[in-house]
Structure 1
């Protein structure tokens, strides 16, 4: 009980060294990510049971059009504020003013973009969908900018409360609307409600006042830092949405619906690990930007942690793809299995690359991430049309995955050049994780021969066996870490 009390007291504090803040923040973000993952996953399963693949395809195109408006006007102010070392309060107020104005402007812009989206995809309903979803920009633009200040100081307790409360309310609203309406409008209204809920909660949970104030000099500085962030998010948007755009145009809304579900499942590891990395490691890297040795050490720890988790999980998703789709979504979603298996590889390397991207932003060189991502976009653009025409959504999945693997390999060598991280820092744990993943995959494939034919029970048994195998495979590493910590504690006691 004393140990539990000490843990609670540790999590409740906001002071301490940079490493203690990072550990505390990691725990908070980990708890938040776990809660969000469970609710989001449950939400996707329920919605897939209530709605058709065509509805998911329509909403994917609608969301793509809305994100295009948002991304092409991205300011990069969040990263600029975290990186900023002086006059933070003045910069915060200027950024908030610009964000509110931008949100209102984007809402109007969505109204004019909507007819173009409807005409391009020959879906008249998109005219109304895109215009109405654009209302959400007004709410997102008004969110409390003080949340960035908490992130900058690695204080994630209130941010965890904010994210958990928003996700829970969004779950209830989305499921309720889907059950009642059984149409694409359920997803549209849920997106607007989610933006409004998050904006209101940000002022209820996050402390600090916001003011409308504009400083031209500070705005110029924010834009100068953010210009490569803006370029990067445009490139990332294009790489993320090019597949949806091509599939929706060439193969139709139903095929796009299958692909969206496969992509969402495959990216579960990278989606939630990236949140943890962005919120914890990026601020920590920023504080260490003048200490290359410290940066290299923390980067090494981060890459080992990410590799040790995402590689086995991605292997499990690929091997269990037929069981996952059958048990969670039903037989009508069977065409999503093959792309899910390919995209599991994409999700793995995407998570590994993200650590590099945050490193480049933290040391004030966001242009590196921009140029490397641009190269990935060019390769993907050359592959996706011929592969999608020849092999459908399986070909599109390959066109997305191959450039992502190449991008991570480039990142390994760039990290060596920038902060002196040896290639072995990434290569050695990756090789070990691949070996462990191969063993895990063999265990799961063998277990499939003996599990029950009931899809839900069978999947539960397989996941349980996979979890046990994962723990056994990592037991030696955990034991080594425990022994090292014990030796360190004895040495510290004897040195007193």
Structure 2
């Protein structure tokens, strides 16, 4: 039986939200990639490395600025009573973090052995302060599965970033131009969210609601901080071990490897969180995760195969020959990028189940294992070692811990591993052929086309019927009721 509301079936709302989310994030990713290609051809690797230092710090602090407050609002049966309190907390945290980032710019830059980054770090701090305004209106759109509106707002933000950054770059401004573009992007997004939701910033403070929200949010905020920290400490290690120019190459490779996460992960997360949170029972919620694993692993593995197999021709054809050394890191990072998509869904599921402390435990263990492994990997194998270190740590430490956390909420490890095994095993022959093709010749365009054909014929087409059957099972899962008070 399908639940209906004044806005149609819940399954339909989720499907539309997912379609908009996937389409929107892919379009945004394409736009960002095109912008990145243009920047790579206008800005030298050393200058991009300076911006990469500021971007690393910004990524960590912007994650902490959210504090998990958006997820708390999405999970709440009725978000409106707690929205003013959450808005006050979020704005206070973001302004404090932005101020701290600006004041600590010099020691941060010295820690990365990049004194040229001081001014860029201070500029990026402004966008951190603006972020606090976006938490509440963004949660309103997420609860209502209004991914189309979110896409439109983010597209305007990207457009503002491109116009400002390119204008300044062409005017002779270096890395600071990219930071100014980020400020423009965040400002346009904040204004757009309030216009679309037809609301204005509303502040307030209820101590009881604040304590309740923080009890849920603080472990999640710490987990998110550690998540970005472990994706940023590698930048610090690469910078201090190999130098800022090598950092620029590594960041470019990491950005490419994040394409699956940027497209699939971001779109799925904003739909999965309200869907899992609003499930009619823990059994339906758990069944939903199990049914998601097979189709998601298939698509994520497909993306990883393509990026890893075509690392050298992809980097050189798209970004230019001077960026070819980045391909050494991209091969391992591409595998890691696909794994991140699946792990992100698992973390989102645990957050929806209220298990934010379990997510925090996994992130702590991840960081503790990754830092020494990354130091050894970079020192011995350079950029390639940095990429594959992520894969090894995930396989040895992270996956077993997540399976243990899932077992505590009733999801048996075997129920997840069995459907995931099929696409992973099917990828082996395709990976072998792609590796052979990559070493055949120097014609980059021909190699790229050959790898694409191999992935299609040896992996995508043989698994197509299997994937469609699993996806159909997922669509037939019992839908969840829509909580009252959810805005349209």
Contact 1:94 1:219 in 2 (8 A): yes
Contact 1:18 1:284 in 2 (8 A): no
The structural deviation recorded for 1:212 is: 2.1
2:367 maps to which of 377, 381, 385? 377
Change (3 A) 1:318 1:482: closer
Query: 1:9-408 to 2 correspondence within 5 Å?
Result: 15-71=7-63, 75-86=67-78, 88-143=79-134, 145-181=136-172, 183-288=174-279, 291-406=281-396, 407-408=398-399
The structural deviation recorded for 1:378 is: 0.8
Change (3 A) 1:479 1:117: closer
Task: Structure 2 unaligned segments of length 5 or more: list them.
Answer: 477-488
Contact 2:160 2:181 in 1 (8 A): no
Question: In the aligned structure 1, how far is the partner of 2:406 from the partner of 2:111?
Answer: 41
Change (3 A) 1:312 1:157: closer
1:214-259: CA deviations, max 9, x gaps? 2222122111111111211221122111101111122110010111
Question: In the aligned structure 2, how far is the partner of 1:482 from the partner of 1:70?
Answer: 34
Name the TM-score, length of structure 2 as normaliser. 0.88
Question: In the aligned structure 1, how far is the partner of 2:437 from the partner of 2:241?
Answer: 39
Contact 2:305 2:427 in 1 (8 A): yes
1:383-404: CA deviations, max 9, x gaps? 1222222222222223322112
The structural deviation recorded for 1:340 is: 0.6
SS at match of 1:145: helix
Larger radius of gyration: 1
Q: Match of 2:484?
A: none
Change (3 A) 1:484 1:136: closer
Contact 1:251 1:392 in 2 (8 A): yes
Change (3 A) 1:404 1:448: closer
Change (3 A) 1:164 1:460: farther
Contact 2:47 2:175 in 1 (8 A): yes
Question: In the aligned structure 1, how far is the partner of 2:346 from the partner of 2:75?
Answer: 16
Question: In the aligned structure 2, how far is the partner of 1:308 from the partner of 1:105?
Answer: 42
SS at match of 2:140: helix
The structural deviation recorded for 1:34 is: 1.6
The structural deviation recorded for 1:30 is: 1.2
Higher relative contact order (CA 8 A, sep 6+): 2
Is the aligned partner of 1:455 residue 2:455? no
The structural deviation recorded for 1:77 is: 0.8
1:477 maps to which of 466, 474, 479? 466
Question: In the aligned structure 1, how far is the partner of 2:468 from the partner of 2:62?
Answer: 47
The structural deviation recorded for 1:327 is: 0.8
The structural deviation recorded for 1:322 is: 1.1
The structural deviation recorded for 1:60 is: 1.6
1:420-474: CA deviations, max 9, x gaps? x3434332332221233234335545666889x6534653564356446554223
The structural deviation recorded for 1:56 is: 2.1
Question: In the aligned structure 2, how far is the partner of 1:442 from the partner of 1:382?
Answer: 30
Question: In the aligned structure 2, how far is the partner of 1:433 from the partner of 1:177?
Answer: 46
Change (3 A) 1:446 1:389: closer
Q: Match of 1:423?
A: 413
Change (3 A) 1:102 1:482: closer
Q: Match of 1:494?
A: none
Question: In the aligned structure 1, how far is the partner of 2:257 from the partner of 2:420?
Answer: 19
1:63-105: CA deviations, max 9, x gaps? 223344445565221111112224x212111212232333333
Change (3 A) 1:329 1:260: same
Contact 1:146 1:207 in 2 (8 A): no
Contact 2:21 2:147 in 1 (8 A): yes
The structural deviation recorded for 1:478 is: 5.8
